[in-house]
Amino acid sequence: MKQFITIIVILSCIIAFNGCKDSSNSTTDVPQAESNVSEPNITEPNGSPSSEIPAIPPADTFEITGTIVYKGLEGGFFAIDGDNGSKYDPISLPESFRKDGLKVKVTARLRKDAMSIHMYGSIIEIVTIAGQ
């Protein structure tokens, strides 16, 4: 009986180690994940354009004219209050635009696939932003 238990333990170890072997020389290619968030096209708040070449906004974007606001909830965050009364939670607001009361014009994409703990308006991805 003791030999039977020893054989079971040895076979279990062999099976376990065989499952953990390195498969780095495998011929199967694993696709790399791509980011859904692109870098925004930035015009600095002082009106001078950045050195980036402006991108043509995709068809699923929309324009926002509004004001950057700082909210002290959940550790603090910056949001955009649209002139039309809409509220937006940007996931890609550049550091240079994080100024409470700054008037901005934004081209954005609605991100229904994203979530936030802020619970303040629609989550958007900024495509272009300029200070007014």
pLDDT at 51: 43
- Cite the DSSP H helix spans in the chain: 2-19
Distance CA 29, CA 31 (A): 6
Q: pLDDT tens track of the chain, all 132 residues?
A: 778 788 887 877 677 766 655 555 544 444 444 445 555 555 566 555 554 445 555 668 899 999 999 998 878 999 999 999 999 999 989 999 999 999 999 999 998 888 888 788 899 999 999 998
Distance (Å) of CA 123 to CA 1, 54, 85, 99, 112 = 65, 23, 15, 19, 7
Report the CATH number of the 41-131 domain.
2.40.50.500
pLDDT at 128: 92
Going through 1-132 in order, the beta strands assigned E by DSSP cover 41-43, 61-71, 77-82, 87-90, 103-110, 122-131
Report yes or no: 78 and 66 within 8 Å, Cβ to Cβ.
Answer: no
pLDDT digits (tens, 9 = 90+) for 31-40: 444 445 555 5
Domain residue ranges in the chain: 41-131
